[in-house]
């Protein structure tokens, strides 16, 4: 519209700034949930968990020699109630809440 300021650049900038913030919050939620079920008897798996955000991409994972084996081997016995597929299950169980965190971040940045 004539005479109206073009806010599209401001909106896009706010959106771009909000996405990584929301992704970080979502990733932290998933990692926290994953740590609740990850095997702890053997050592330091939880302390190797991390969230990495790069623009519009986010990754959650563990940097441990045995993380993949513990995650994938469903026949391992976990006497403390820990479970295999701890990261996969966390993502499935917290997907809606993670999306809500991302949506909230974007909505707040856009004044909603």
| pLDDT digit string, tens, across residues 15-67 | 999 999 999 999 999 999 999 988 876 568 888 999 999 999 999 999 988 88
The pLDDT assigned to 42 comes to 59
User: Model confidence at 5, in pLDDT bands (50, 70, 90)?
Assistant: low
In angstroms, rounded to a whole number, what is the distance separating the alpha carbons of residues 98 and 23? 8
- pLDDT tens digit sequence for 79-98: 776 788 999 999 999 999 99
94 lies in some domain? yes
83 lies in some domain? yes
75 lies in some domain? yes
Q: Which residues contact 3 (CB under 8 A, 6 or more apart)?
A: none
**Domain extent at residue 55:** 8-109
1 lies in some domain? no
**Domain total for the chain?**
1
- As a whole number, mean pLDDT of residues 97-101 equals 98
The pLDDT assigned to 3 comes to 64
2 lies in some domain? no
């Amino acid at each position: 519209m004539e005479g109206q300021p073009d806010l599209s650049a401001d909106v896009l900038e706010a959106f771009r700034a909000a996405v990584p913030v929301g992704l970080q919050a979502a990733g932290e939620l998933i990692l926290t949930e994953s740590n609740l079920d990850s095997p702890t008897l053997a050592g330091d798996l939880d302390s190797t968990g991390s969230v990495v955000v790069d623009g519009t991409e986010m990754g959650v994972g563990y940097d441990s020699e045995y993380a993949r084996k513990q995650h994938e081997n469903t026949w391992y016995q976990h006497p403390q109630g820990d479970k295999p597929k701890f990261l996969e299950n966390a993502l499935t169980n917290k997907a809606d809440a993670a999306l809500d965190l991302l949506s909230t971040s974007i909505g707040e940045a856009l004044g909603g």
